[in-house]
Amino acid sequence: MGCGCSHAKNLVDTPVACAQRSRRASIEVPTLYDLGALLGSGTFAKTYKGKRRTDGFDVAVKVILKKHPNYKATLVEREIDIMSRIQCPRCVSLMDVIETPTAIYLVEELCTGGELFERLIQLGHISEKDAAVIIKQVIEGIAYLHSKEIVHRDIKPENLLMMSSNSKSMQYNMVKITDFGLSSLKHQEDDSMTTACGTPEYMAPEMIHCALIKDKKRRAGQGYGEAVDIWAIGVILYIMICGYPPFFHENRAVMLFNIQHGCYNFNSDEWRGISKRTKEFVSLLLTVDPKFRPTASQLLRHPYITNIKTLDTRNLNSTAKLSMYMETRRSRKALNAVRAVKRMEILVQHPSPSFKETREITRLQMIDRLKLIQSDINIESDIHIGELNIM
């Protein structure tokens, strides 16, 4: 798979789009864009394929209904603010914003190639070199975002889209980062960089640690930074190589423990024959202590990225397991990942040890602690009390 860009510093602002904020009467929306097929649904929004009437240009239109019970104006405003700052070929662009009394329409760049993992499953082939080419593009996008002081906070396979479905197009192998609904600015004045969000399987240890702290003042001094995006990239690379995640466990408390302590390995058959370079790079991304996790800019100078051409091109035969993993994710959507950690964060009644201390306590002590936390979480939470009975 190819990469159209060699370094984040070359990702200059492009003329694809510059978001124009406007307030128009609702009757004007269909006169500006024709809405077509539903592309996807979120918590309080639906995205449709659209066509700009003036020139027939294909777009994606995200429709956010203000009457939806989960609608929060401040979050939408933050998403618009952040997307308006982004002009990078590795990120989906915001092209227009239309606000009416009943809804907000975010007109975005359309990606027709589907989700990254779905493309890999469709092709039935991925090599170490392919994985490196893909991950380089993601790191380039993250390096750009971090240079703008934007932390994505929800890097996962579903938020990595392929630009084109046309195998003959130069954009066929282009990866785009999307969905900035949970993104935040590094120096945001609110508490967004101290709250847990995203999908537990891709959460960094320091984000989970913040979720375990009840006291807001104490949590404010324990916030996380842009390194959470780097961790998530490491999880994605691990999955591409072997077809399954590094920390997954049916018992969610065990999974959280594994993440906090970096409990993963390369001992399975899928990792035999994988180069030392690839393993070392994965381990670098999955460094538990964020202070020692490299930045995106540093990663782009790493030999694993600068010498991609020398990586093995043999098929890793991981797409069958990857397909099973994605099917499992789809079937577990009822276990809403964001609500699980958010409820844990809000309802926890037991003080949390410091980040350094959590690395020094035993596994059973951590599991016991997570059991105590779970006892205070509503039974409707995604992490059910029954899941924690592992003894």
Q: What is the pLDDT of residues 181-233, one digit of tens each?
A: 999 998 766 677 888 888 899 999 999 988 887 666 666 567 899 999 999 99
| Six token digits for residue 207 | 């984000």
Question: Which is catalytic among the residues 96, 130, 154, 382?
Answer: 154
pLDDT of residue 377: 32
Q: Where are the alpha helices (DSSP H) in the chain?
A: 29-32, 73-84, 116-123, 128-147, 205-211, 216-220, 227-242, 252-261, 276-285, 296-299, 303-306, 319-331, 337-347, 355-358, 363-375
- Per-residue pLDDT reduced to its tens digit, 59-76: 999 999 999 888 999 999
The DSSP-derived string for 168-211 is TSTTTT-EEE---TT-EETT-SSSGGGS--S-GGG--HHHHHHH
What pLDDT is recorded for position 40? 87
Low-confidence ranges of the chain (pLDDT < 70): 1-28, 188-190, 214-221, 333-391
Q: Are 190 and 115 in contact (CB under 8 A)?
A: no
Q: Is 13 a catalytic residue?
A: no
66 is in an annotated binding site: yes
Under 8 Å CB-to-CB from 115, ≥6 apart: which residues?
157, 158, 160, 161, 162
pLDDT at residue 35, as a whole number: 94
User: Could you tell me the domains of the chain?
Assistant: 18-109 (3.30.200.20), 116-388 (1.10.510.10)
Confidence (pLDDT) at 385: 24
3-state secondary structure of 383: coil
- Quote the CA–CA distance of 209 and 194 in Å, as a whole number: 9
**pTM score > 0.95 for this model?**
no
- Report the DSSP pairing between strands 175-177 and 160-162: antiparallel
Q: Which long-range contacts (CB under 8 A, 24 or more apart) does 332-337 make?
A: 335/382, 336/382, 337/198, 337/199, 337/200, 337/201, 337/382
Instruction: Please tell me the predicted confidence (pLDDT) of residue 15.
Output: 36
Report CA 239 to chain centroid distance, whole Å.
Answer: 14
Report the distance separating Cα 213 and Cα 350, nearest Å.
8
For the chain, the 3-state helix, strand and coil shares in percent, each to the nearest 5, are 45, 15, 45
CB atoms within 10 A of CB 294: 17
Q: What is the pLDDT of residue 342?
A: 52
Tokens of 11: 């990702």
pLDDT of residue 36: 94
Q: CA 275, 170, 298 angle in degrees (round to 5)?
A: 45
